[in-house]
Amino acid sequence: MYISASQLDRFFTCPLLYKATYIDRIIPFHKSPSMVEGILFHKAMELAIRHQDRYFYKSKQGLYEMGITFDKAHDGLTSAEYVQPMLDRLDALIEGGLRSFNLQSMSNTEMKVYFHVYGIQYFGIIDALKDNEIIIDFKTGLRYKTQRDIDNSMQMVVYAAAINDMRGRPLEYPVEVQYISVSKNDPGHYRIVKRIITAEDIYKLLALSMALKEAIRTDKFYPTSPAKCPQWCPLRKNGECGVYIKKQKYFPAIHSAIIPKD
């Protein structure tokens, strides 16, 4: 059973939303302009660290690699006339990200990690390591990421467990993780929030893994509490996600409520 670290975050947010997204696949997925901008931002950070040149993304080779990334993000859309205008819009955002770290301290960009527990193979990609130890995750969006955001991230717990496993350390060995976030409402600046992944977080990961495996085995996925239900969730109905879904028995009754018919 293969589960990405980000998918575990979705299960942690709401088991029912996880099922709708990754098992029944009834929530349509599309790459929004903001998502494409985030992909290009991450690529600029990767190129800067890999080549130890903050502005490598502006070089001829850098623009070529950014163009390839843009094509993939846009599902093959011809990028020649689109990449530069988007980079111009992202310039201040990228500048803020580049100011957030010392190039010499960063390494291991786009580091693929794996972690196996209770029959579940977790996998993910770490954006970078600082001082070969601190796990860095770059974030873009309208707002800066907060301490609450990183404290509620099981994805970062998976990354910490994977690093410890790869290096032969106990899973509960403390690991620092950081969000380096930039905001489109405050371009040119950045914010860093930190967290230490502890033994308690690892135990929570193990318990959540058992719950995920049991939910998949029994096909029983329950909605999260109303207080925890995200406002953007497409399964919400009049703010009563759990009540609504229980009344409709969920499958396949609300399929038409999520994906309009042609």
pLDDT (tens digit per residue) in 79-89: 555 666 667 77
Pair of tokens at residue 116: 């196996």
CA distances from 33 to 10, 38, 89, 115, 206 (A): 22, 9, 12, 32, 36
| pLDDT confidence of residue 253 | 34
- Amino acid at site 56: F
- Amino acid at site 96: G
pLDDT tens by residue, 194-234: 999 999 999 999 999 999 999 999 988 888 777 777 777 77
Find residue 107's DSSP bridge partners. Answer: 129
> Would you give the end-to-end CA distance of the chain in angstroms?
34
Q: What is the pTM of this model?
A: 0.84
Ordered alpha helix ranges (H), 2-32 = 5-13, 15-18
Q: In what order do the strands lie in the sheet with 2-4?
A: 2-4, 120-126, 111-117
| pLDDT confidence of residue 242 | 55
pLDDT grade for 262, boundaries at 50, 70 and 90: very low
CB 107 within 8 A of CB 151: no
**Which of these, 15, 62, 27, lies nearest to 43 by C-alpha position?**
62
pLDDT grade for 190, boundaries at 50, 70 and 90: very high
pLDDT grade for 31, boundaries at 50, 70 and 90: low
Is the bond into 252 cis (omega within 30 degrees of 0)?
yes
Find residue 138's DSSP bridge partners. Answer: 180
CB 182 within 8 A of CB 96: yes
- Amino acid at site 242: G
Pair of tokens at residue 207: 């318990």
Rounded to the nearest angstrom, the gap between the alpha carbon of residue 184 and the centroid of all alpha carbons in its chain is 18
Angle between helices 83-98 and 60-73 (to 10 degrees): 110
Q: In what order do the strands lie in the sheet with 134-141?
A: 106-107, 128-130, 134-141, 175-183, 191-197
In total, the chain counts a number of residues equal to 262
**Which of these, 29, 11, 19, 9, lies nearest to 252 by C-alpha position?**
19
pLDDT grade for 114, boundaries at 50, 70 and 90: very high
Mean pLDDT of the chain: 83
